[in-house]
Chains A and B, each alone.
Chain A
Amino acid sequence: MSDQTPILNAKDLSIFYGDNEAVKSISLPIFEKKITAIIGPSGCGKSTFLRSLNRMNDFIDGVSHHGEILYRDQDLYADSVDPVEARLRIGMVFQKANPFPKSIYRNIAWGPNINQLGGNLDLRVENALKQAALWDEVADRLDDSALNLSGGQQQRLCIARALAMEPEVILMDEPCSALDPISTLAIEDLIEELKAKYTIVIVTHNMQQAARVSDYTAFMENGVLVEFGETDQVFTRPKEKRTEEYVTGRFG
């Protein structure tokens, strides 16, 4: 396994919805500029875990945490940490594309604008759209409503929106689950390319997707981290029997 220090590091992390323990003492490192896939059956807590990495669980009533998540040695849940700033550095792409009901341009410019990131805004929008492989399709209609884009384009727009913030980490919560196979491939290609600049954590139902795009894979079941390792190893020589059964499609 890698000897580099992780950019995010969950240590003995448990997450509760009220009294219900959805994530059970998980310890999982997220390595810089790598793609980490989290797989597991529905309801295993993988999305809950992902949302805890940029404090999006703050918006869900009754969620509480035990243990810690270190972001470069700083506890994300420490009282002194500003969650708004944490989300600036750790961006997110959601399961269902959620473009704002605004123009394509204003969707991308929205984040940089409110956070006064400075620089040339037009250029920032263009770069983000190029990185998200959407520029060629929308360059001549930036003022059109983002809601007129197709589902796959909307999801790439949401990726571009996250990229425009130049975050260090991008969390992706089943970003392709609502997309057709062609859009899915486009986004997987995109994720590969983004690895050069960003750290990516992707939650997915699709095992082929995890195997195709990720460097590391974590397999979760019933809130427990069953196995974590390099993707090759997890898929070809899993240490745990449950992992083997899952990745070979014998259950789930």
Chain B
Amino acid sequence: MAELSAKKTRWNEWVLEKLFFFCAFVSVITTAAVIFILLEETLTFFETVPVLEFLTGTRWTPLLEPKHYGILPLVAGTMLIVMGAAIVALPIGVASAIFLSEYASHRARSIIKPILEILAGIPTVVYGYFALTFITPGLRVILPDTQIFNAASAAIVVGIMVLPMVASLCDDALRAVPASLRHGGYSLGATSFEVTTRIVVPAGLSGIFAAFVLAVSRAIGETMAVTLAAGATPNLTANPLESIQTMTAYIVQVSLGDTPSGSLTYQTLFAVASVLFVSTLMLNILGTWVMRRFREVYE
């Protein structure tokens, strides 16, 4: 028997491996760089404005005299959008998911799923325009006090934007419930409705919850539609018919202006972005944590 030949160095393998590693590394580096810059500028900002004042102040007027740097109005504006969007997207999303996974025929599913995906693929600026030219006039017919720019219109359109994601993730969660559980229910004399509401939805609940969390996280970060439709008035209010400003919309506003780099106003961008980053990060972590837990349910 011939001896095994000596180990060869396969250069093409080596080059490809390094190339793949580099590609993977780019995203890690980018994330690290973003976090670093955010942190650096935010810390500089806090040298001038105390953290407590920033987090608890009720007036946000960095572009006007007298200047105030309390982020609460922006947070309130964001919350209005998020809650409004949740009210629109969560019930409709869950109901669509129930229809898709439990009731729809193969044919109906094959039509509705792609339509949902198209809805998810529409550029957000189109949604913003849709809010401004269609939803707002509609709202003003029903509620004449509605301002031209208002939180409700933006919230509704953000709700429509995140709806496909909610529906699709909830559909996944419901379809992950094994058919054997449904059959167990049916064999005990249950109707489709009882099987759906008392077995499938409870069993998929953590997946549904994860979908909610990710939807909220997306609504917080949504920028274009709220910039167009909700206005640019930092406003500590709970009235959705008023003009407000979200954290993201503020960042757009200042970025588009002629704010000199290095100024305090410039640094507010990073402070606001840090708050945004931390909130969406926490929500995403919560969402994926819940998702992972729910995978273990049936084992």
Contacts and interface: CB of A to CB of B under 8 A. Distances in A.
Contact of A158 (B106, B178, B184, B202): B184
B106 A110 contact: no
B135 to A, nearest CB: 40
Interface residues of A, number: 26
A94 B180 CA distance: 8
Contacts of A99: 184
B298 interface: yes
Contact of B191 (A84, A94, A110): A84
A54 B180 contact: no
A56 B184 contact: no
Contact of A98 (B106, B180, B194, B297): B180
B188 A91 contact: yes
B189 A94 contact: no
Q: Is the interface of B mostly helix, strand, loop or mixed?
A: helix
A111 B189 contact: yes
B182 interface: yes
A238 to B, nearest CB: 33
Contact of A101 (B182, B183, B203): B203
Interface in A78-125: 84-85, 87-88, 91-92, 94, 96, 98-102, 110-111, 114-115
Given A100-B203, A101-B203, A101-B297, A162 B188 contact: yes
Given A61-B106, A110-B198, A115 B181 contact: no
A111 B190 contact: yes
Contact of B187 (A54, A85, A114, A147): A54
B190 A84 contact: yes
Q: Which of B183, B184, B188 has the most CB of A within 10 A?
A: B188
A68 B185 CA distance: 25
B297 A56 contact: no
Nearest to B204: A101
Interface in B177-227: 178-191, 194, 198-199, 202-203
B190 A114 contact: yes
B190 A92 contact: no
A162 B184 CA distance: 9
Nearest to A112: B188
Nearest to B106: A61
Contact of B181 (A92, A98, A111, A165): A98
B184 A114 contact: no
Nearest to A88: B189
Contact of A114 (B179, B194, B202, B203): B194
Contacts of B184: 94, 98-100, 158, 161
B188 A98 contact: no
Contacts of B180: 94, 96, 98
Interface string B62-93: 00000000000000000000000000000000
B190 to A, nearest CB: 6
A59 interface: yes
Contacts of A84: 189-191
Contacts of A59: 179, 182-183, 186
Contact of A56 (B178, B187, B202): B187
A250 B183 CA distance: 35
Q: Which of A92, A100, A165 has the most CB of B within 10 A?
A: A100
Interface of B: 106, 178-191, 194, 198-199, 202-203, 297-299
20 contacts: A56-B183, A59-B179, A61-B106, A84-B189, A87-B186, A88-B188, A88-B189, A94-B183, A98-B178, A98-B180, A100-B181, A100-B184, A100-B203, A101-B202, A101-B203, A111-B190, A114-B190, A147-B299, A158-B184, A162-B188
Given A98-B178, A99-B184, A147-B297, 8 more contacts: A59-B186, A92-B183, A92-B187, A96-B180, A98-B181, A100-B181, A100-B184, A110-B185
